[in-house]
Amino acid sequence: MTPRKEKKSTSNEDEAASKLSDSESPAPVDAPVALSRERFAALEKAGQHSSDLMIVINGEGTVIYANPVALQTFGKSLEEGIGLNALDYLHPDDLERVSTRFIDLLANPGSSVSDTVKSVTESGEIREIEIVSTNWLDNDDVQGIIINGRDVTEHNQYVAQLRAHEERFRLAFEDNMAPMICTDLDDAIIAANNAFCQMVGFTKDELLGHDSKMFTFPEDVGITEESHRRATTGDGVPARYTKRYLRKDGRIIYVEVSRSPARDARGKTLYFVISERDITEERALTARLSHQALHDPLTGLANRALFLDRLAQAHSRVVRQGGMGAVLLLDLDDFKGVNDSHGHLIGDQLLVSIARRLEQVSRSSDTLCRFGGDEFLYLADGLTSPEEAEQMAARLLETLAEPFSVAGIHIGQHASIGVVLWDASRLDYTEIVQDADVALYEAKRQGKGHHVVFTTGMHQQAVSHFAMVQDLRRALTSGEITMHYQPIVDLTVTGVVGFEALMRWQHPERGWVPPNVFIPLAEKSDLILELGAFALNGAVIAASSWKPANGEKSAPYVTVNLSAHQFGDPGLVAMIEKALDLSGLEPDRLIIEITESVTLLYISETLSVMEELNRLGIGFALDDFGTGYSSLSYLALMRPRIIKIDQSFVSPVQESVRNDTLLEAIVSLGHNLDMTMLAEGIETKAQLQRLQGLGCELGQGYLFSRAIPAIEVPAMLAKLPGSWK
């Protein structure tokens, strides 16, 4: 609002001015002659050197004197300022109030009043002025008002901003969900918000005036003291640290503390503002996640990542300090049978029970790990001799000797262990676990249930086996693998009724590789499924071309061996159906051979697959009967078409009455169960006659023929019964 110039007096402003001019005051005088010379000289001298504005107005409100500060404030020269009406420069909001005060002031000579008014400058700027107005009375009884004032516009703006800041800080402090306190330079609490009180369990009255020792966990008091010492003696930069608090209820919590100094305009630290965060649950969650990342979720033992880290540390210590370390790889024998017989839930509970037993014999300085599946790793640190490692292996195996009781089921579970020892001479630890696996394989090859210590020769053998597996993989596509067929003979007439399909490998450098060498290698890799499919497809295609021999009503059947891995393949039945469809072979001319040990180990899967294949018309032969842990109840359930008597009963190393009795008992058992008996490994006419006398129906062996290539089968079928040399 600009000062009023020439306008009609119709507003409240004019009314107030009228009241001021109509008040009971002496008649106005011309400025500045109405003042005595002495009075004017004194005013002029005081106003000239004053840093405050000074204005003198008469009873009508006319300015009769204005000092330089006043003229500068309102943007006027001396000539422009004198004679103006002071009320014209008042803000409309203050006009009526100030006019009334001036009237009251004029009515009381010698009185004064203080006020803050808003004024409008020539440029329209609104300024806030703090004034003291005094009624003066001249010697000539001329009345007027002396106004001393100070422009407080910027000051009031600063105060308003400061109050706004303070209000925002108060709201941010009091209502903040984050716990906060303010402490003085002696670390005494001078303010605390509700969130902080809730966190430590103390009220504000209990906290104010005390330092943080009253709620700090005793062992962490030094953390706060050190932080406070640095804050008061150093550069006062913000600090962050973690400590424990002891709540009023006795519970320990973890907090993250952020301390910042509050400074004045000169940078002096006045007090500290401390924001805190309860990280108890966060730390607990981090600990849980860390534990989960480094431990097996089922058994709670160390997992592979933690074990390898501990192994690296142990190896480094041995290299630096000497001594000896060992890694023991423990693998459960036949654990898959537990899952197949009782389900994976029982299997998991068994693994937990095994872990607890192994922990009982573990040393506190060592690390026990579940490596995966049914394998456990044991890191023995700080050994002084190889005997200590073997003693540990013996203790681990011994702790499994007693059967386990899981959900009311008694389960016997044994294991094999591969042991690797190292000292400071072994600079690389990365292959230690691999070497333990090599030793474990050798332990299982030797008969399971015991431990074997790794030697460099085993490593060389493992390398050789790996190379052979790679060669075997190539051989499948290069034509080195072929199928041969050994005749199955009806012992009553010694005529061929079928053939057993057998795989042969002609290696370009090694020559003939025996099946008992490459089949176990294939079973330890994924190659066994490929080899099995190769054998099945080749056998059914070959058999589909065979014709009945010498007036027989039907063509010879073919038997194909299945390994444990193949029998556990969910796609087995579909693969056999597809092979039969492509070859055109009648299902009743295919017989699947499975060993007694595989059958009894995977009895639930065996019965399920046999049921599906029996519906197709495919028969079964139980191989190597009498060499495993025979179960007559399972045998009655499976009802195989043929039972193959192991050659150890047919052609024993040493003849004995006991062996003859066992052979007779086995043949009699098969007849009583209405099953066809087939004797393996017949090599002499005496053995043949013995089997014929026992009524054994079928046989095969070198007496009749070795396995022959498919191209020679037609010639063999053309032989007359009994024409064997």
The neighbour count for residue 547, using CB atoms within 10 Å, is 10
Over residues 171-190, mean pLDDT:
83
Q: Provide the 10 A C-beta neighbour count for residue 453.
A: 20
Band (2; pLDDT cuts 50, 70, 90): very low
- In 556-645, which residue ranges form alpha helices assigned H by DSSP? 564-567, 572-583, 596-601, 603-616, 632-638
Q: List, in order, residues 6 or more apart from 686 with CB less than 8 Å away.
A: none
Class of the CATH-defined domain 167-283: alpha beta
pLDDT-derived band at 662 (thresholds 50, 70, 90) equals: confident
Helix (H) or strand (E) holding 404, with range, is strand 404-406
- pLDDT beyond 90 at 577: yes
Pairing of β 511-513 and β 495-507 = antiparallel
Closest to 518 in 3D by CA, of 487, 579, 486, 474: 474
Is residue 485 within 8 A of residue 707, CB to CB? The reply is: yes
Alpha-carbon distance of 272 to 261, in angstroms, equals: 4
How far is CA 536 from each of CA 232, 561, 566, 649, rounded to the nearest angstrom? 86, 9, 11, 29
pLDDT of residue 550: 72
Q: Any idea where the domains of the chain sit in the sequence? A: 12-151, 167-283, 295-454, 468-717
CA distance 275 to 277: 7
Contacts of 311 (CB under 8 A, 6+ apart): 327, 367, 379, 429, 432, 433
- The reported pLDDT for the residue numbered 5 is 41
Q: Is 50 exceeded by the pLDDT of residue 18?
A: no
Stretch among 160-164, 411-415, 599-603 having the lowest mean pLDDT? 599-603
SS3 label, residue 249: coil
Q: Which range among 90-99, 118-127, 295-304, 426-435 has the greatest average pLDDT?
A: 295-304
Candidates 62, 97, 71; CA nearest to 151 is: 71
pLDDT of residue 632: 66
- Round the average pLDDT of the chain to a whole number and report it: 83
pLDDT in tens, 592-651: 998 766 665 566 777 788 888 889 999 999 887 766 555 566 677 778 889 998 888 888
Beta strand 557-561 with 495-507 is parallel
Task: Note whether 131 and 86 are within 8 A (CB).
Answer: no
Task: Identify the three-state secondary structure at position 331.
Answer: strand
Residue identified by tokens 């190659």 is 527
Instruction: Tell me the pLDDT band of 653, cut-offs 50, 70 and 90.
Output: low
Separation of alpha carbons 592 and 642, rounded Å? 10
DSSP state of 1: -
Residues 6+ apart with CB under 8 A from 109: 135, 137, 143
pLDDT interval class at 37 (50, 70, 90): low
- Residues 497 and 86: their CA atoms lie apart, in Å, by 137
Question: Is it the case that residue 22 has pLDDT exceeding 60?
Answer: no
**How many other β-carbons are positioned within 10 Å of the β-carbon of residue 509?**
5
Tell me the mean pLDDT in the region 353-377. 93
Segment of 62-66, 119-123, 144-148, 308-312 carrying the highest mean pLDDT: 308-312
**b/e 258-283 (16+ beta carbons within 10 angstroms → b):** ebebeeeeeeeeeebbbbbebeeeee
d(CA 272, CA 182) in angstroms, rounded, equals 5
pLDDT at 440: 92
Q: Ranked by mean pLDDT, which of 80-94, 132-146, 416-430 comes out on top? A: 416-430
Q: Do domains 12-151 and 167-283 have the same CATH topology?
A: yes
Is the four-CA dihedral 187, 193, 198, 201 of positive or negative sign?
positive
Q: Is the pLDDT of residue 4 over 60?
A: no
pLDDT, position 7: 38
CA distances from 470 to 442, 514, 669 (A): 20, 16, 44
Please enumerate in sequence order all residues whose Cβ is within 8 A of that of 394, keeping only pairs 6 or more positions apart, or say none: 451
Residue in the structure block whose two tokens are 């925002």: 168
Number of Cβ within 10 Å of residue 537's Cβ equals 18
DSSP state of 628: S
Q: What is the mean pLDDT of residues 295-308?
A: 91
DSSP line for 414-483:
-EEEEEEEE-TT----TTHHHHHHHHHHHHHHTTSSSEEE--HHHHHHHHHHHHHHHHHHHHHHHT-EEE
The predicted-structure confidence for 222-275, as pLDDT tens digits, reads as follows 887 777 777 777 665 678 888 999 999 999 999 999 888 888 777 788 888 888
pLDDT (0 to 100) of residue 36: 59
Q: How far is CA 481 from CA 354, 407, 484, 538, in A?
A: 43, 48, 10, 11
Ranking 22-31, 125-134, 405-414 by mean pLDDT, the lowest is 22-31
Burial track 429-439 (b if 16+ CB lie within 10 A, e otherwise): beebbebbbbb
For residue 149, the tally of other CB atoms under 10 A from its CB is 22
User: Mean pLDDT over residues 98-118, rounded?
Assistant: 82
pLDDT > 70: percent of the chain: 89
pLDDT tens for residues 462-503?
A: 778 778 888 898 998 888 999 999 999 999 988 899 999 999
Pairing verdict, β 481-490 and 495-507: antiparallel
Predicted pLDDT at 526: 75
- 650 closest CA partner among 616, 701, 604: 701
**Alpha-carbon gap, residue 491 to 685, rounded angstroms:** 11
What is the average pLDDT across 513-533? 86
**For the ranges 355-364, 511-520, 658-667, the one whose mean pLDDT is highest:** 355-364
* Of 473, 472, 446, 470, nearest in space to 458 by CA: 446
Domain 295-454 falls under CATH 3.30.70.270:
yes
Q: Residue 568: is its pLDDT beyond 90?
A: no
* CA quadruple 186, 192, 195, 199: dihedral, nearest 10: 40
Q: What is the pTM of this model?
A: 0.51
Q: Which fold has domain 12-151?
A: Beta-Lactamase (3.30.450)
pLDDT at residue number 549? 77
Residue keyed to tokens 């490596």: 371
473 CB-side CA count, 13 A? 10
Count other Cβ atoms within 10 Å, centred on residue 238: 11
- Please name which of 142, 150, 132 lies closest in space to residue 60, comparing C-alpha atoms: 142
The CATH homologous superfamily of the domain defined by 468-717: EAL domain (3.20.20.450)
